[in-house]
Amino acid sequence: MEEDIVEMSLRLADETEENDSDTNSASTSEEPFDIRLPVKHQYLNSTDLGELSTHSLYVDPGSELSVPVVVIDTVLLPGQTLPLQFTDQSCVDFMRAAGEKRTYFGLLTATLENDREEVEPELTASRTGTLFQVQNITLRDQTLTVQAVGRQRCRLLNRLPFSSFHEHDFMQLKFYSMLTAHDTFSLSKSSTETIAGWLKNWLQKWFDLSRINIVMEQGYTVFSYFVASNLPVGLEEKLKFLEEDCTDRRLRMLWRTACQMSGLACDRCGDVKCEVNDLINLSAEGNGTHFVNPAGYVHDLFTVGRMDNIQMHGLPSTQFSWFPGYAWTPLSCSNCSAHLGWKFISSKLLPKRFYGISRRSFKLARMEDSTSP
């Protein structure tokens, strides 16, 4: 099998379900939430400057190219959509100018490295990233918004120092795509088909069989990225899936992770917040969706129907809501106060409430890690 490489007042959450139910009981016209809305990113409310591309671009495996690069604290997989927002005038000018010449950019995951405690961590970037295609650019009040989609894996040919990097800085870096065949670790074809079948059955908890079949028809590589984007793992583990060169190996890694996970835990203190079965799909893209806040910080969000031992901050707000019709409230871990995500509530939509967890704020609670309360 061949594989292409080419981001107040404190109130405890004791009010939880009952209070929300009381608030929503007056509603007389509840309707299911339209899962097609989140991927449209209507909260950006920008003036459309027009689509830059109407078809998918593809770089031939083995080619080398120089592209502008975005280095941010997120992992983008091929097939995933990505909203970006820029307020710095130099970035706005650069993106507009670059967008007129090309629609391909590179994204690398920002990492912090610190070998000595007394030295400030140095901002570096992963060697493996994703080429993304800009689909449109929008502008409003000197804020530039880019909506893009991941296309192909890419790998950095020449590592350059990123000590002066800040989010959304750019450099011209050289990339290549590489065709990787089976290695000595790869599974037999029948084993690959078996594992893909197991993952297919596992995905039916959240997706219609017809949706899964459409993805599988595009091949095991595309299917592996789809599974990886829907596994509720932290950023580091998601990056490992992207870095794996062999589709067979990636599928095996994904199945091993799916079998081991039992819940989602706070990344800082390890307190388990919910079970894997509490995941709910509220986006047409899948369980995991990228969103951007007014400051341009990108969040890779998972949605769940229940969370334990959390606290809310402030009052619900509908401003810049990633889920139209819902009001959001920031939430944190009651055990260590780490920010986890947001609670979303609505009096007119179903579900009446759910929680969005940022991928950088949680880690998997694996079966061997689980302990009784």
Q: Is 92 helix (H, G, I), strand (E, B) or coil?
A: helix
| C-alpha to C-alpha distance for 343 and 148, rounded to whole angstroms | 26
Provide the residue range defining the domain that includes 238: 189-261
Do 168 and 50 share a structural domain?
yes
Which among 179, 207, 225 is the end of a domain?
Answer: 179
Domain annotation covers residue 322: yes
> 259 or 135: which carries more pLDDT confidence?
259
Q: What are phi and psi of 294, to 5 degrees?
A: -60, -25
Considering the domain architecture, whether residues 30 and 73 belong to the same structural domain is answered as: no
Check whether residue 171 and residue 60 sit in a common domain: yes
Residue 268, SS3 per DSSP: coil
Three-state secondary structure call for residue 227? helix
Question: Among 152, 179, 206, which residue terminates a domain?
Answer: 179
Among 305, 186, 296, residue whose Cα is nearest residue 245: 186
Q: pLDDT tens digits, residue range 136-163?
A: 888 888 888 999 999 999 888 865 444 3
pLDDT mean over 110-122 = 53
Is residue 184 situated within a structural domain? no
> Do 130 and 79 fall into the same domain?
yes
Residues in Cβ contact with 334 at an 8 Å cutoff, skipping those fewer than 6 apart? 12, 13, 309, 310, 311
Q: Are residue 80 and residue 135 in the same domain, yes or no?
A: yes
Residue 360 has φ and ψ, to the nearest 5°, of -75, -10
2: in domain:
no
pLDDT score of 54 more than 80: no
- In a shared domain, residues 172 and 282: no
Of residues 25 and 133, the one with the higher pLDDT is: 133
Rounded to whole angstroms, the Cα distance separating 111 from 129 reads 12
Please tell me whether residue 358 adopts helix, strand or coil conformation.
strand
- pLDDT tops 90 at residue 127: no
Final residue in a domain of this structure, among 228, 261, 294: 261
Give the contacts of 48 (CB within 8 A, at least 6 positions apart).
136, 138
How far is the C-alpha of 125 from the C-alpha of 140, rounded, in Å? 30
Q: What is the token pair recorded at 305?
A: 């129907």
In a domain, 158, yes or no: yes
Asked if residue 325 is part of any domain, the answer here is yes
What is the reported pTM? Answer: 0.79
| pLDDT class of 186 with cuts at 50, 70, 90 | very low
Is 21 domain-assigned? yes
Same domain for 70 and 107: yes
Same domain, 163 and 62: yes
pLDDT in tens, 322-369: 999 999 999 999 999 999 999 999 999 999 999 999 999 999 998 764
- The answer to whether the CB of 87 falls within 8 A of the CB of 143 is yes
97 and 129 part of one domain: yes
90 lies in some domain: yes
Strands of 74-120 (E only): list them. 81-86, 104-113
- Specify the CATH number for the domain of residue 319: 2.170.150.20
Tell me what the pLDDT averaged over the chain comes to: 80
- Is the pLDDT confidence value at 372 over 90? no
Q: What is the pLDDT of residue 66?
A: 80
For 47-85, the DSSP string reads EEEEES-SS---PPTT-EEEEEEEEES----TT-EEEEE
Looking at the structure, tell me whether residues 168 and 199 fall in a common domain.
Answer: no
Would you say 217 and 273 are in contact if contact means Cβ atoms under 8 Å apart? Answer: no
Q: Is residue 96 located within the same domain as residue 175? A: yes
Report the CATH number that the domain containing residue 227 is assigned in CATH: 1.20.58
Q: Is 351 helix (H, G, I), strand (E, B) or coil?
A: coil
> In terms of domains, do 110 and 227 share one?
no
**Which residue type sits at 303?**
T
Encode pLDDT of 274-284 as tens digits.
999 999 999 99
Q: How many domains does the chain have?
A: 3
Whether 372 maps to a domain, the answer reads no
Decide if pLDDT at 308 tops 90. Answer: yes
* Residue 14 pLDDT exceeds 70: no
Q: What is the CATH number of the domain that holds 140?
A: 2.30.130.40
Average pLDDT of the segment spanning 310-332: 96
289: closest CA among 300, 304, 305?
A: 300
* DSSP string for 284-348: TT-SEEEEE-TTS-EEEEEEES---SEEEES--B-TT-SSTT-EEEEEEETTT--EEEEEEE-SS
Phi and psi for 190 in degrees, rounded to 5?
Answer: -65, -40
Q: Which residue has the higher pLDDT, 96 or 208?
A: 208
List Cβ<8 Å contacts ≥24 apart for 197-203: 198/255, 199/223, 199/227, 199/251, 199/254, 199/255, 199/258, 202/258, 203/227, 203/230
